[in-house]
Amino acid sequence: MATCSRNLKVETGVCRMRRSLFCAVLCVSVLVTPGTCCLSKEYELPGGQCCPMCHEGSVVKRDCTPQSGTRCVPCVDGTYMDQPNGLNKCFPCSSCDQGRGLFAKQNCTSTSDTVCDVIAGHFCTDLIEDKECRSARKHSDCEPGHRVKERGTRRTDTTCEPCPAGSFSLEGVNCSLWTTCSENQVEVKGGNLTSDTVCEAASGRLYWLIPVPVVVLVMVLIGTLVVLWIKRRNQEKQQQGPRSSVASEEELLPLPRLL
């Protein structure tokens, strides 16, 4: 039968008979290209003749003639053909768009298309035939006050859940229990889903006492000056009487001008 189909030039009456018998029986069978009477590894010309197909990685350059078989050419770079065929052009290789969260897991060859996969940290949003991904998106983050319930995979996005009672989460990854203030601390602010309890040292509440020593110091200074001034005035009153010939050292100092 192979001789009948592959060598048109030796298509004898017997062959023709065999072919039509074959067609009658098998035209609907999978062995035969649907709608034609050619065998599975053959393609049909418009005139109804059958030519042997080109192999994977190549396409037809010239159909077969009664004198010669099919002439095939290999696919050039950037194109591929992954099946036996009677086509004139190779298929263009797919590209894996980084902007769509994809990378080439397997480069294009003359016999197979590029195989794209999802970049780490992304998940597929457009899966074809349960294996090839056409587009992917970055895993979502959970909101503050939530935590990651299940981490994203190549196929699924992150799932989140709110923090359990008594805990909080700043980043939306893990929840931490609220801090319990110790005995010598006071709770300044209660915790909520997104922030921890705020504790403060109990002595922290006495901060207002800090200016007290300053005020006392200033008052002592003023008091001292007042006492000095009074003392000086008394000395001057005494000197208004019998004038002393010896000037005390104190007299040479200028009077405090503060008062």
Distance CA 91, CA 158 (A): 37
The distance of closest approach from Cβ of residue 120 to ligand NAG in the complex, given in angstroms and rounded to an integer, is: 15
- The correct pick among 153, 174, 234, 248 for binding ligand NAG (CB under 6 A) is 174
- Residues that bind ligand NAG (rule: CB under 6 A) add up to a total of 10
For every residue of 153-191, DSSP letters joined together read -SSS--EEEEPPTTEE-SSSS--EEPPPP-TTEEEEE--
Interface map 122-161 toward ligand NAG (x if CB under 6 A): ----------------------------------------
- The correct pick among 15, 45, 87, 104 for binding ligand NAG (CB under 6 A) is 104
Q: Does 107 contact ligand NAG by CB under 6 A?
A: yes
The distance of closest approach from Cβ of residue 133 to ligand NAG in the complex, given in angstroms and rounded to an integer, is: 15
The distance of closest approach from Cβ of residue 206 to ligand NAG in the complex, given in angstroms and rounded to an integer, is: 24
- Between 171 and 250, name the residue whose CB sits nearer to ligand NAG: 171
C-beta of residue 134 within 8 angstroms of C-beta of residue 160: no
Q: Does 106 contact ligand NAG by CB under 6 A?
A: yes
With b meaning 16 or more CB within 10 Å and e meaning fewer, what string describes 92-117?
A: ebbebeeebbbeeeeebebbebbebb
- Between 33 and 114, name the residue whose CB sits nearer to ligand NAG: 114
H or E element that contains 68: none
156: Cβ–Cβ under 8 A, 6 or more apart, which residues? 123, 150
DSSP 9: G
Q: Does 195 contact ligand NAG by CB under 6 A?
A: yes
- The correct pick among 119, 193, 199, 228 for binding ligand NAG (CB under 6 A) is 193
The distance of closest approach from Cβ of residue 107 to ligand NAG in the complex, given in angstroms and rounded to an integer, is: 4
Q: Does 173 contact ligand NAG by CB under 6 A?
A: yes
Q: Which residues bind ligand NAG (CB under 6 A)?
A: 104, 106-107, 173-174, 189, 192-195
